[in-house]
Each structure stands twice: as C-alpha cells, then as structure tokens.
Structure 1
Amino acid sequence: MKKVAEYLRTQAASLTAMADADNLKGKYADELAENARGLGRKLDLAEDRYREVKGHLSGWAEDLEEFQKRADRALRDAKDAQRTIDAHESRAEDPPRPSDGKSAEKPADTGKEDPRLKQAKEDLHDARTRLDTAEGDYEERADHVARKIRSSIDDDMKDSVWNDFKGWVADAEWLSKFADWAGWATTVLGLVAMVFPFVGGVVAALTLAAFLVHLVQAAIGNGSWYDVVMDIGAFKLARVGTKAADKIKSLQQGSRNTAADLAKDRAKAQASSANKGARDSAAKRERKRGGTSGSKRNKARASRLNMERKNRAAGHDAAEEVRNADLPDITRGEKREALLDKAMGQQMKDIRNLRDMHPDNAALAANARKAEGLLLVHQGAWGVSTVADLGDKAIDSQFEQYGAWKDGMTAPMAGTSQW
C-alpha cells in the first residue's frame, strides 16, 4: 500500500504539472489541462486513502507482534507448569518399592499440598489469565484499527456498486464454506442418486449453486477460474450421461415397438392359417350365384369378416402383450454394469433379450449395438466425472502446491474497477 501511495503521488504531481503547463495552446490544451487536473485530484484522494490505511496497518503489525510475544510467553510458562504437575502426579501414582521386599505402606496424608505442585498450579492459572488478557487486548485493538481503516476509506472517493458488491463477496466467508460443503454434498449424493434416482434433482441444484458461487468469486478476483472450469466440466459430463440414459430408454421403447410389430404379424399369420379353410369356404359361398339366396350370401360374408376381425384382434393382442410386458429382472452384475441404475439395467437387458429372440431382425440388432455404445458413454461420463471430482478434493487436501497452482488462475473479469 505504501508503494501504491507513492506511485499515485508521483502520477498526481505529473498530471498537475501537465495541467499547469503554459507552452500548449488551443482548445485541445484547455481540454487536456481540465481532464489532467480532474484526474490528478482523484489520484490525490486515492493516495490519501492508501497512505492512511498503510499507517494503520503498520501500527497494527507492531501490535500483533507484541500480542504474539505475550501469547508465546504465556504458552511457555503454561507448558512448564503442566510438566511439573504431570511429574508430581506420576510420582503419586507410582510410589517407590521398599528394598527389604516388604509391601510398601501408603504414606500418611498430612493434609498439606506439595509446595512445588501448588506453585505450578498457580503458575498455570496465571498463564491462562495472561493469555485471556492478551486475547482481549488483541480483539479490542483489532476493533479500534478496523474503525480507523473504515474512517480513512470513508472519503470523497466513492466506490461503485460493483466495488461494493465485490467487497461484500470478498468478506462473505460463508459463501466459500457453502461452496465447499455443496461440492462434498454433490459427491456423496451423486453416489446415492445411482441407487435412488430422485436424489438427482438435489445434486443438480447443489452443483448449480456451487457453480454460481465459484463464478461470482472468480469474476471479482476472489476465486479461481479453475473451479469454474471444473463445475462446467461436471455439468457437461452429467449432461452427456443423462442424454445417453435417455437415448437408451428411447431405444428400448423402439425395440419393444419393433418386437410388437413382429409378434402382431406372427400371431395374425397363425390365426389366419388356422381359419384359412373356413374363410375360403365362406368366401366361396359369398360369391355363389344361382339358387343361393341373398341372405345366405350375406351370412357367409359376415362369417368371413368376423374371422378376419378375430385374426386382426389376435395380432393386436400379441403386440400389446409385448409392449406392456414387465421389464426383465436383472442380476447384481447387470445392475453394477448400469452403475446401480436398476431401470437402465432392465432396459439394457430388455434390448438384448429382444435382439436374441429375433436374431434375423436388423433393426433390433442395430438398437442393441447403439445401446451398448451409449452404455459405455454413460459409464465413461460417470467415471471421468467421479475421478476428477474425488481426485481434485484428495490432491487439494494433501498438497498445498496444488492449491497454489489453482490460485494462480485467479483474475478478475476485464473492465472492472480496481482501486
């Protein structure tokens, strides 16, 4: 802050000299002088702010050193006193054995405390009292310096709404805690959602909330753009997995429709074959002329139409039976293959079963191949997302360099004011 103040002072002086120069003539010179003088005044205000705050912080640094020394002395004295207390208690719990082999008698309780133990307890209490006093003085001084800083920045140089918003976000530690909590919650609930799909909505909401927090923090220069990229990647992978699952469901329904049409044609053909003779006979009577009354021909026609209706009904019933059949049960292995998504596992097995039931049907075979590919996409999206998420959290918790590397991707959005 001292360097910034010095730089601002130098620039303000240069602008003032430029405004006061008398070797420039013309309207442009008047405009230049007016703008330079106005900017110089603004830099003077900024310089006052940085210079005053620098002074407050310098005094605060000296206060902190003194508070730390007081706390260190209290800690050192407390440890010394505690060692004396522990040593005395150890001797009291383990009395010396007599050399003559006789059992040791417990020394009589005189009712008086060991002076060294008593002094150690007093020293420990005194150390705690001094630490509490130092902490109280620290908090009181911190409030005082904070008030001084607020007073110094309450000047004629007004911050914009954007700067006020940036300050609020930077001070809102709960936002970072919420984003961290949401990140862990989505990791855990993402695994739960594999067994209970309805939890997926909660996972999506928490992921979106964490993304918005990371985006705002990165935009103001108080967060890493790496976290934003990770959130976008998680959204993208989740979308890829969801689309693959939706397509598998669509393929399963398509396979059911294809198999239903096949069952319809087969049942209709079988019914037609069974009553072919009767239909042919009725059709012959229907066409017969000469000596055959019209009522008999109409009766034969009705009989033929009724048999054809029954043939169509047999095909329709067979098709509906295929379409409305329950999804097949799956094994544990098939459920694990679908990443514990029971519905997807059943859909995949149904697609495979229908393909195997009609090995010569090209449409069912094509659906099965597409579904196998989509299942791999679904597995891959989940695997990459999970490994990236858990890997990021594990590395971040173990290696400080990783956190520093992510912090290196911190930069505010272009075009924002930065005093």
Structure 2
Amino acid sequence: MARPKDWHPLREGDPVPGDPEGIRGQVKHMKKIAEYLRTQAAALTAMADADNLKGKYAEKLGEESRGLGRKLDEAEDRYREVKGHLSNWADELEEFQRRADKALGDAKDAQRVIDSHAARADDKTPTDKQKDKKKESDDSPEEDPALKRAKEDLEDARKRLNTAEGDYTERSNHFAGKIRSSIDDDMKDSWWTDFKAWVADAEWLKDWTERLSWLATAAGVIAMFIPVVGWIALGLTIAVTLSHITLAATGNGSWFDVVMDIGALKMARNGLKAAKAIKALQQSSRKTAAGLADDGAKAGAAAANAGARKTAARAARKRGGTSSRNRNAARARKLRLEAENRVAGKRAADEVRDADLPEATLRDKAGTIGDAKLSQQMKDIKKWRDQYPDNPTLTDNAAQAQRHQNMLQGSWAVGTGLDLGDKFGNDVSGGAYDRMKGRMEAPVGQW
C-alpha cells in the first residue's frame, strides 16, 4: 500500500517510512536460501560420513566436506535468524504505520474544522473579531464547542503520532541491533559481501542516480533544439545505466531499471545510426547529382559547339594545299572547345557540391525531432531526387532516408515513452509499479 505523501498538519514528511510488503518479500527470498543451504549442508555431511569412499583422497575429501558443511550451517543460521527479525519488524512496522496513518486522518479532519471556523471568522466585522479575540484571551466558555473539540483532537493526533514515531525509532533500532548480532559470527565475509553492504549504506548513490536520470531527460529535451546536447544526454544515460547495474547487482535496486536503461540506450543508438545513415545518403545524393550535372552541362556545351568542333576536326585532317600550321591551329581549336565542355561540366558539378543546404521549416524539423541539420539533409536528398526523377540511385537514396527518418522518430517515441513511464508509472499505478520492480530485485549470486 502506498504511503501518504502529504503529512500536513503534523509533519513535513512520513515519520514512519518503510515497506512491510517489500520486507516480507525479502523474508520469503531469505527463507528459500536458508532451506537451500540446509539441504546442501546435509548433503555435504552425508558425503563426509560415507563409508564407500576409499583411497588417500577420501580423508581429505571428508575433512573438506565437513568444513564446508559447517560453514553452510552457519550461513543458514544467519539467514534463519535475520529473516525472523525482518518478519517481526515487518509486522510491527505495519502497526506503526497504521497508527500514524490513523493519527494523520484524524488530524486532517480536525484541521478542516479549524480552517472552516477561521474562514468564517474572516467574514466577520472588525468589531466582531475584537470581541472574539477578547473571549479567547479570557478563556471564555462561550468558545464554539466544535472548534474547541477540533483543537483537542488535533493535539491528541499530534501526541499519538509522536508516540508512534518514538516506538518506531526504538523498535527499528532494536531490530537493527538484533540483525547485527546475528551476522556478527565467525564467518568471514568476502569482498563482494562487503561491497554489497557498502552500496546498501550509500544512500547518496540512489539520490545521485535519480538526479542524473532527470538531468538525462532534460538534456534529451534540450537536444531537440540543440542537437549537440544529445551526446550529453547519451553520456548521462550511460552513467545512470552503470549506477543501476551496481545497485541491482548488489541487491539494492531492481533489474527492471537496468532493462529500461538498456532499452533507452538501444533506442538512442538506433537514433544515432539513423542520423549517420541519413548524412551518408545525403552525401551520396550530392555526389550522384553532381555527376549528372557534369554530364548534362558537358552535353549541353558539346551540342552548342558541335559545328565548330566538326569544322576544326575537318581542318585538322585536311591535306593538300593546307599548311601544317593551319592544321595544328585547327587541332588546337578543337581541343580548346572540348576543354571548354569539360570546364562547363565541372562548373555545374561544383555548383551542386557546394550548394547550400535547403532551409528547413518547423515542420521539417519536427520530422527529425528538432534536428535542423538533419532536416536540411533530408530536404536536400528529396530535392535532388525531384530534380532527376529518372535516376534510380537518387530515388533509392530518398526511400532509404525516409526509412531511417521513420526509425529515428520511432526510436525517439519509444525511448521517451520508456523514460516517462518509468518516472510517472508509480504515480499512475498507485504504487503497483514500484512493487512490480521490487519483485525483480536479486543480488548477483542469489538468484
């Protein structure tokens, strides 16, 4: 059950936080582990006591098996004792929260009565207010009984909440001591156990991860208008993913968060790949269009000076009364005309390659999730396709670019949906989302 968020008029926040159902879930998990350890310890003891083991290795194997069996017994004792403490704490925590919630409900009812009387008092004339103030200072018995009872109820609720909070603090310390005592045995914890404990105590890590997650969301929105910020958003998302992996692997977070982060990274990767592919297609279309412009300009120039080139060619081949000097001049004229054709083609190709990208409208930018450069590239691809509609390369480039743009839009929509769903899912579901994530908590080595 979700905890109340508004504790006015008694507190700024929840004085008895905790999740009894989440604790009971951990108790069930620890019970399974204890049962498994007990079974394995019994199996090792039986192996050590077996009479059918022969040879030099038998004594060593039996000794090691007994030793490992004793350690498993000690570990099982840990789990059995700790789960008992946690189970009792869950029951008491639930009772403390019930008392606190009841006090809060009574306080809100009393505060509504007090506020109602205050609102009516505001409507009175100055003379009436002075009279009421004098009555209050004289502790007049004429004070509204309902108002007096509401004030008493509010004070009683405040006292009950203070008592519940004090009991909560005392019993939480009690069970914390019990748990510390249960795990303070001869077993030596591994570095991984110590690391898990360190992460469990590092509340700042969860806060840091939450803040980074919101920063990544904000950077993603800004990237719609300033594309370079997208790389910052990606870096923040990677940092959040690593932090969630650390929390989940140590049993202090949900693997569901890791799955969501990986999904978001996958969507971001798809978007980056799509943007890169569109850029490559735009460059390919420019190159193809430049070649077509080159061929077209050369063909046009060649058609324009075709007569002059033929005349020069005939003069260059003419023999008889024509001097070699005249033939060489005709040959040079023909070569100059051909060079002019090539220059015309090169000039046309350069104009295509060096042309500015088309201006992108707001609608164009919306199609590329706010990336102005990408929308210009898309528009450029379509421009050359439309200018040379019979060219299969330009037509295919435009079709591929549209598919990549659709992928970009889809990746952004899915990634944004995952992000918003994760941030507001618990509010929408009334706490069910967090409970679902809680069922996917398991440290590495305890699946």
TM above 0.5, one fold?
Answer: yes
Asked if 1:38 corresponds to 2:67, the answer is: yes
**CA distance in 2 between partners of 1:262 and 1:402 (Å):** 58
Structure-2 separation of matches of 1:12 and 1:200 = 52
Output aligned runs, 1:16-415, within 5 Å.
26-27=54-55, 30-31=59-60, 33-43=62-72, 45-46=74-75, 49=78, 107=131, 113-114=138-139, 146=176, 149-150=179-180, 153-399=183-429, 400-413=431-444
Select between 195-204 and 355-364 the one with higher mean Cα deviation: 355-364
Q: Distance in 1 between matches of 2:433 and 2:105?
A: 35
Partners in 2 of 1:196 and 1:361 — Cα distance? 35
CA contact (8 A) 2:38 2:73 kept: no
Give how far 1:397 is off: 2.4
Q: Check whether the contact 1:8–1:43 (CA below 8 A) recurs between aligned residues.
A: no
CA distance in 1, matches of 2:351, 2:405: 27
Query: TM (normalized to structure 1)?
Result: 0.75
Q: Deviations over 1:275-317 (max 9, x none)?
A: 2333333333333334444444333333332222222111101
SS of 1:189's equivalent in the other structure is: helix
Unaligned 5+ residue runs, structure 1?
98-102
Shift of 1:208: 1.0
Any idea what SS the aligned residue of 2:228 has?
helix
Select between 272-281 and 4-13 the one with higher mean Cα deviation.
4-13
- How many angstroms does 1:171 deviate by? 2.7
Tell me, yes or no, if the aligned pair for 1:328 and 1:346 is still in contact at 8 Å. Answer: yes
- Using the alignment, how far apart are the partners of 2:300 and 2:200 within structure 1? 77
SS of residue in 2 equivalent to 1:197: coil
CA separation of 1:41 and 1:255: change in aligned 2, threshold 3 A: closer
How many Å separate the matches in 1 of 2:136 and 2:424?
Answer: 57
Q: Distance in 2 between matches of 1:9 and 1:364?
A: 67
What number of residue pairs does the alignment pair up? 410
Provide the secondary structure at the position in 1 that maps to 2:403: helix
Paired amino acid for 2:68: L
Distance 2:204 2:121 in 1: 50
Residue of structure 2 in register with 1:100 after alignment: none
Closer/same/farther in 2, CA of residues 13 and 335 from structure 1, 3 Å limit: closer
1:23-43 Cα offsets, whole Å, 9 max, x none, are: 778446634542343234424
Q: Which runs of 5+ in 2 are unaligned?
A: 1-26
When residues 124 and 217 of structure 1 are mapped into structure 2, their CA distance, relative to the original with a 3 A threshold, is closer
DSSP-derived class of the 2:381 partner: helix
1:195 is displaced (CA, Å) by: 1.8
Residues in 2 aligned to 1:148 and 1:165: alpha-carbon distance in whole angstroms: 22
Distance between the aligned counterparts of 2:108 and 2:377, measured in 1? 67
**Cα distance in 2, alignment partners of residues 396 and 123 from structure 1:** 33
Between the aligned partners of 1:91 and 1:114, the Cα distance in structure 2 is 20
Alignment partner, residue 12 of structure 2: none
1:207 Cα deviation from its structure 2 partner: 1.4
For the pair shown, which has the larger CA radius of gyration, 1 or 2? 1
**d(CA) in 1 for partners of 2:385 and 2:34?**
80
Counterpart amino acid of 2:392? A
Does the Cα contact within 8 Å between 2:31 and 2:83 map onto a contact in 1?
Answer: no
RMSD over aligned CA atoms reads: 4.7
Contact kept, 8 Å, 2:275 with 2:404, in 1: the verdict is: yes
Partner secondary structure for residue 222 of structure 1? coil
How far did 1:62 drift?
A: 11
> Alpha carbons of 1:153 and 1:323: their partners in 2 closer, same or farther (altered >3 Å)?
same
Give percent identity, aligned residues only: 53
2:443 partner amino acid: P
1:11–1:40: 8 Å Cα contact kept in structure 2?
no
**Aligned-pair CA distance for 1:212:** 1.5
Letter in 2 for 1:331: T
How many Å separate the matches in 1 of 2:85 and 2:73?
18
**Secondary structure of residue in 2 paired with 1:212:** helix
- TM superposition shift of 1:350: 1.8
